[in-house]
Amino acid sequence: MNRREFLTVSTTAVAVGALLNPSALVRAAENQTGLKNARISYFAARPGSRSRDVAFAPDGAVWYCGQRDGTLTRLDPENGSLHAVSLGEGAAPHGVVLGPDNAFWVTEGGQNAIARLDPATDNVDLIPLPTEFSRANLNTGTFDLQGIYWFTGQNGVYGRVDPKTSAIEVWASPGGRGPYGITVTPSGEVWYASLAGSHIAQIDRVSGSARMVQPPTPKQGARRIWADSRSRLWVSEWNSGQVSVFDPETSDWKTWKLPGDAPRAYSVYVDEHDGIWLTDFGANAIVHFDPDTEIFTSFPSDMPNANVRQMAGRPGEAWGGESGTDRLVRIQFDPA
Amino acid sequence: MLLLILGPWGVTFAADIEDLTEQGRIAFEPCLSCHALDRSTSGMPGPNLAGLIGRPVAGDTGYAYSPVLRAAGDRGLTWTPGRLKQFLADPEAMFPGMWMSYQGIKDEREQESLAGFIAGHK
C-alpha cells in the first residue's frame, strides 16, 4: 500500500426520499473524492425478511433474496412497492442473478437447489444438487459469456447448470470448504473466492477443474470477488479487512487496508467506471475506493447493524441489501 | 460390559447417544466453513467454538465480534446448553443484527444433537 486517504462523507438529510416513496431517505454527500454527487436512499424491504443479495430486472425493478422469509421479492424503486414470491418450503435464498433468459437464478440454500424464477409468471423451478452434495451451503452464482450458470457452495463445492437443459454438474473444490463469491471477467474467465480457504480459484470452463491462486496475505479470508473492465479480480478480505486486486495477466497482487480500527471487508462490487464498492461490517458502512487516487470514501448507514452482504449495480447506481435492518440501500452517483 | 448389565433397554439407550453424536457431527459440517472446534485453530471467518459452554457470549478473545454479540457479552450473558440449543433453533431471533447469517434448525432432535456435539468439545 503506497498511499491511502480516507474521507467520511459529510451528509445532510435534505429530504424525505421522494414523494413517491415515503420509506426512502435521501442524503446528499458532499466533499468526497472519487465520485460526484452521491445520493443515498433507503427502501423498506419486507419486515423480518433479512434482505440480502440483489439483482436487477430490465423493467427497472430490483429483486432481492429474503434469506429469512424464503422469498425472492421485487422492489419497485419508483414507488417502494414490494411483490414477494415464495421459493418453497424451507427456502433460504442467498444469491441471485439475472440470466440471459430474463429469469432470476438463485442459490437456494434452504432446499439445496438452484432455483429459477420467471418474473413474468412468478413460476419457480428447482434444480436440486445431486444427493452426494447434500448440505452444500449454496452461496453465489454468475453467468459466463456463453450463458452457463456457475455457482459456489461454502461446504466445499462449485458447479454449473446449462439453462437450456437444466443439466447440473457439481465438483468438490480443491481447497476444501469455503467457496463463496463468484464472478466472470470481460475476457470470459470464471473465478471464485474461498472464504475458509483464503484463496481465489479459476474454473476451467471446459474440464470443470479449478486452479487455486493464493493472495499475499495469509488467512486473509477472501470472501467475494468481482472483475473490473480489464479482467482484473478485486477481492474483499473478511479476516484481514483488506481489498486486493489480482491481475491474471501478470500474476501481480496489490492490497489496501480499509479505513478504521477494525475493518471487516464483506463484499465487493466494481462499477462501470471501475470504481470499487465495498461493505465494511466493522464500520457499518459502504465504502467506495478509487484505485487511481487510492482514496476511500465511507458511507456509514444511518442505522446500526446494517450488514450489507452483497453489492451490485447498474449505471450510476450501486445497491445492497441491509440484511440487519430489512432495507435496501441505493447510492446514486455521477462519474468523477 | 455395561451394556450387557443394562440389557436391551440399556443397549438401545447407548446406541441412541451414539446416534445423537453422529447426527451432531453431521449437523456441524456446514459450520466448519467458519468455525473450528479445535483450540489450536485460528484465523477462521467465525469464532473458535472450543470450550463454548460456560464462556461469555462473544468470549473468543481472538475474534472481533459484531456489536450485537459484544453487547450481549457486556450484559453478562454466558453460553449454557439451554441457550445454545435455543440459539441454534433461530440465531437471528436471539441476536438480531448479528453478523452470522444462519437460518437455524427446525428439527428439535437435530438442535439437541448439534448443541451436544459443540458442547462436547471442551
A264 interface with B at CB cutoff 8 Å: yes
Whole-structure pTM value: 0.91
pLDDT tens, position by position, A187-197: 999 999 999 99
pLDDT category of residue A34 using cuts at 50, 70 and 90: low
pLDDT category of residue A6 using cuts at 50, 70 and 90: low
Does residue A137 carry a pLDDT above 60?
yes
Confidence (pLDDT) at B27? 92
pLDDT category of residue A309 using cuts at 50, 70 and 90: very high
Chain-centre distance for alpha carbon A22 = 26
pLDDT category of residue A8 using cuts at 50, 70 and 90: low
Q: What cell numbers appear for A200 in the block?
A: 481465489
**How far away is chain B from the Cα of A55, in angstroms, using its nearest Cα?**
19
**How far away is chain B from the Cα of A86, in angstroms, using its nearest Cα?**
16
Is residue A135 a contact partner of residue A95, using CB atoms and an 8 Å limit? no
For residues A35-50, average pLDDT: 94
Chain-centre distance for alpha carbon A313 = 9
Is residue A223 a contact partner of residue A265, using CB atoms and an 8 Å limit? yes
Lowest mean pLDDT among A34-48, A107-121, B57-71: A34-48
Residue (of A242, A326, A239) closest to A289 by Cα position = A242
Confidence (pLDDT) at A144? 98
pLDDT tens, position by position, B37-72: 999 998 999 999 999 999 999 999 999 999 999 999
Lowest mean pLDDT among A121-130, A228-237, B17-26, B61-70: B17-26
Strands A5-8 and A295-300: parallel
Confidence (pLDDT) at B15? 61
Does residue A58 carry a pLDDT above 60?
yes
In which residue are the cell numbers 479459476 written?
A: A202
For residues A204-224, average pLDDT: 98
- Give the best residue of B70, B101, B102, B114 to mutate against chain A (max A CB count within 10 A): B101
Does residue A263 carry a pLDDT above 80?
yes
Confidence (pLDDT) at B17? 66
Tell me the torsion sign for CA atoms A65, A70, A76, A80: negative
Measured between alpha carbons, how far is B119 from B122 in angstroms, rounded to an integer? 7
Give contacts of A110 with chain B, Cβ < 8 Å.
103
Confidence (pLDDT) at A148? 98
Give contacts of A52 with chain B, Cβ < 8 Å.
101
| Helix/strand/coil for A96 | strand
B40 interface with A at CB cutoff 8 Å: no
Q: What cell numbers appear for A151 in the block?
A: 455457482
Confidence (pLDDT) at A36? 82
**How far away is chain A from the Cα of B118, in angstroms, using its nearest Cα?**
18
- With 0-12 / 13-18 / 19 or more C-beta atoms within 10 angstroms meaning exposed / middle / buried, residue A46 is middle
Strands A199-203 and A210-213: antiparallel
A238 interface with B at CB cutoff 8 Å: yes
Strands A10-16 and A25-30: antiparallel
B43 interface with A at CB cutoff 8 Å: yes
Confidence (pLDDT) at A240? 98
Does residue A252 carry a pLDDT above 90?
yes
Per-residue pLDDT of chain B (122 residues; tens, 9 = 90+): 334 434 443 444 556 667 778 999 999 999 999 999 999 998 999 999 999 999 999 999 999 999 999 999 999 999 999 999 999 999 999 999 999 998 899 999 999 999 999 999 98
Measured between alpha carbons, how far is A4 from A23 in angstroms, rounded to an integer? 36
Measured between alpha carbons, how far is A114 from A96 in angstroms, rounded to an integer? 10
Q: Give the nearest partner residue to B97 out of A67, A239, A324, using CB atoms.
A: A324
**How far away is chain A from the Cα of B12, in angstroms, using its nearest Cα?**
28
The rounded mean pLDDT for chain B is 88
Residue B103 to residue A110, Cβ atoms within 8 A: yes
B10 interface with A at CB cutoff 8 Å: no
* Chain B contacts in chain A segment 161-200 (CB below 8 A): 177-178, 195-196, 198
Measured between alpha carbons, how far is A139 from B112 in angstroms, rounded to an integer? 26
Does residue A31 carry a pLDDT above 60?
no
Confidence (pLDDT) at B18? 75
B70 interface with A at CB cutoff 8 Å: no
Does residue A199 carry a pLDDT above 70?
yes
The rounded mean pLDDT for chain A is 91
Please tell me which residue of chain B has the smallest CA distance to A306: B97
pLDDT category of residue A298 using cuts at 50, 70 and 90: very high
